[in-house]
Amino acid sequence: MRQWLSRWLGDRGERRAARFLRKQGLKIVARQYRNRFGEIDIIARDADRLVFVEVKTWRAAEGGSPSDAVDLDKQRRLSRSAAAYLKRRGLYGRQPVRFDVVGIVWPDDAEPTITWYRNAFESTVA
């Protein structure tokens, strides 16, 4: 049951993050893109740049910011997934990219607090 609730909150956060990013002028290209390296929550376009977005949604910020959960290991997995996405579309090395993180704190019976970290980290793939 706990895993289901966590998945539900995560999906709800991703939908809210996509809506938030659209309002900021980004065009959503894909959600929940999966390949053998992992999942990319949101792929968006910001002008000429492709943006790979990791969304972290928590019920409370007691243990810090949700963005703190995007550690070096998670950054490596996202970088590999993004590289595979770009290679599959013939864009690797030709498309400017950015890695963003959206942290959402969504307590029960309250509106969420959304924090957008543009250019949160550099790709770990050379």
- Give strand ranges (E) for 27-87: 27-35, 38-46, 49-58
Predicted confidence (pLDDT) per residue in 41-93, tens digit: 999 999 999 999 999 988 876 677 888 889 999 999 999 999 999 999 999 98
Could you tell me if residue 105 is inside a domain? yes
Could you tell me if residue 56 is inside a domain? yes
Residue 126 scores a pLDDT above 60 = no
Q: Which domain holds residue 11?
A: 2-121
What are the Cα distances from residue 4, in Å, to 1, 7, 11, 14? 5, 5, 11, 15
Could you tell me if residue 68 is inside a domain? yes
Q: How many domains does the chain have?
A: 1
Could you tell me if residue 126 is inside a domain? no
